[in-house]
Amino acid sequence: MNKASIICVDDEPTILNSLKVELKQVFKGKYLIETAESGEEALNLIDELLDSNYEIPIVIADYLMPKMKGDELLRRIHALSPQTRKIMLTGQADIKAVGNAINYAKLYRYIPKPWVAEDLTLTISEAIKSYLKEKELAAAYQNLERKVATFHKFVPVQFLKLLNIEEYDAIHLGHCVEKTMTIMFTDIRGFTSLSENMTPQENFDFINAYLSNMEPIINQYQGFIDKYIGDAIMALFPNGADDAVQAAIAMLKQLDKYNQGRQNAGYQPIKIGIGIHTGRLMLGTVGGENRMDSTVISDAVNLASRVEGLTKTYGIPLLITEQSKSRLVSQYKIRHIDSVSVKGKRKMVTIYEVFDAESPAYIEAKVKTIADFEQGVNCFHNEQFKQAQRFFEKVLQENDNDQVAQTYLSHCQNIW
């Protein structure tokens, strides 16, 4: 302890003086010995000491005092300094008062007056040892909590729960489980070009600023980040596709706020792409004897990554697969974008745009043209390119900013 005080409270000055003399002889200046003649004076003294960063390991209080009795004083001291050891030194306390002090103030010891000096000294010494031991245990626990919190920054606690791991030393190589989950991939568009104009430190500052805006949203919607890959995020949502889609919408809205801050600071706004897919995957641990990591292995993971890549092709920020769309419970603004051949997949992959994060005017325009747009997509895939062209032209008459419709129209014109 750096600065510590023992406080004695009694309404009889002669008793206070005797206590002060005894304690000074025993502890020889190790502790500041303070006295108070009433409960109110004691509480004011404790406030002053705590404000001055003093620790108060021991308070010795009489029971029978004017205005505030000893059990009430100790209860109020306990509220201010729970770790303080409270000793009641009195010849007039009844059983109820002692019980109150035990129940509401965690009374350490009751010593009757007149006291035996050796007994009082031993009690105080043991109380200080108890105080220091509790302080040591609290510090050790806080240190352990910090280490666990740091550990969770590298291995998400949700990952361990999915593996049914309760004790960290129970983690072993090859521990795995199969689950159906929704996978999200997202990255920054044109990050390479951005990073070329920044120093290494500026790169790290930029990425961390961006990720710190996105990571809390993923957690908010019951997801967790499996890994960061440069500027990219791979996140898992164990509870359903709705969590992933709602997180993606919130991330895009947060990106607008983040970009406003960038523009105010003189930087260019950034764009991101988000791909979402739902499927079976294996979660587990991989590595060797000296280095182990948590990972996810699945074709579903690869597909989510490729869907995210398609956001660049279509110039839209959020795409989901049919497997995710079919599991959605809530209603979203969704339109069918395409059915595409993806490397490594035999079947065509149907993808949809979720546009709830767009501006109200843009949402209204897309909703108004969704029937014509999707008919155009169907005609295009049925090789009815002339009819498809008419539908996409109709869409663009209502919404000339529809980049996907413009892309389809260009394809129709080139083919036709």
* Complete DSSP assignment for 339-392: EE--TT-SS-EEEEEE-TTS-HHHHHHHHHHHHHHHHHHHHHHTT-HHHHHHHH
SS3 272: strand
pLDDT at position 151, please?
62
- What local confidence, expressed as pLDDT, does residue 353 receive? 98
What pLDDT is attached to residue 292? 72
Calculated CA dihedral for residues 126, 130, 133, 139, nearest 10 degrees = -140
Sole residue written with tokens 């550990």: 151
Is 157-358 CATH 3.30.70.1230? yes
SS3 111: strand
**Is 278:323 a contact under the CB 8 Å cutoff?**
yes
pLDDT tens digits in sequence order for the chain, 416 residues long: 679 999 999 999 999 999 999 999 888 889 999 999 999 999 999 999 999 999 999 999 998 888 898 889 999 999 999 999 999 887 776 777 778 778 888 888 888 888 888 888 899 999 999 999 999 998 888 887 887 666 655 667 777 777 776 666 667 776 778 899 999 999 999 888 888 888 999 999 999 999 999 999 999 999 999 888 888 999 999 999 999 999 999 999 999 999 999 999 988 899 999 999 999 998 888 887 777 777 788 889 999 999 999 999 999 999 999 999 999 999 999 999 999 887 777 788 999 999 999 999 999 999 999 999 999 999 999 999 999 999 999 999 999 999 999 999 999 988 86
The pLDDT value given to residue 238: 94
Q: Do domains 4-150 and 157-358 have the same CATH topology?
A: no
The phi, psi pair for 278, rounded to 5°, reads -120, 135
Terminus-to-terminus CA distance in the chain, angstroms? 86
Which residues touch 14 (CB under 8 Å, ≥6 apart)?
Answer: none
- pTM of structure: 0.69
- Give, to the nearest 10 degrees, the angle between helix 403-415 and helix 360-381: 30
Distances (CA, A) of 265 to 259, 268, 383: 10, 9, 49
Q: How far apart are CA 158 and CA 224, in angstroms?
A: 7
Cα–Cα distance for residue pair 343/320, rounded to 1 Å: 17
Residue corresponding to tokens 């079976």:
280
Helices and strands (H, E) in the chain, number of each type = 14, 13
Position 9 scores a pLDDT of 95
Q: What is the pLDDT of residue 286?
A: 83
Residues 6 or more apart whose Cβ sits within 8 Å of residue 344? 299, 302, 303
C-alpha radius of gyration, the chain, whole number: 34
Q: Cα–Cα distance between 9 and 59 in angstroms, integer?
A: 8
In the chain, what are the domain boundaries?
4-150, 157-358, 362-416
Q: Whose CA is closest to 83, among 46, 52, 111, 117? A: 46
Q: How far is CA 240 from CA 274, 275, 328, in A?
A: 17, 15, 8
- Please check whether residue 286 is in contact with residue 173, taking contact to mean a CB–CB distance below 8 angstroms: yes
Query: Among residues 45, 130, 122, which one has the least CA distance to residue 85?
Result: 130
- Three-state DSSP at 170 gives helix
User: Are 182 and 240 contacting, i.e. CB atoms less than 8 angstroms apart?
Assistant: yes
CATH of segment(s) 4-150: 3.40.50.2300
Helix (H) or strand (E) holding 294: strand 292-297
- What is the DSSP secondary-structure string of 5-56? EEEEE-S-HHHHHHHHHHHHHHHTTSSEEEEESSHHHHHHHHHHHHHTT-EE
| CA–CA gap between residue 284 and residue 303 (Å, rounded) | 19
Residue 156: which residues within 8 A CB-CB, separation 6 or more?
224, 225, 226, 294
| 324 in Cβ contact with 277 (< 8 Å) | yes
pLDDT, residue 152, reads 59
Structure tokens at 79: 């509220």
pLDDT at 87: 92
CA angle centred on 301, ends 298 and 303, rounded to 5° = 110
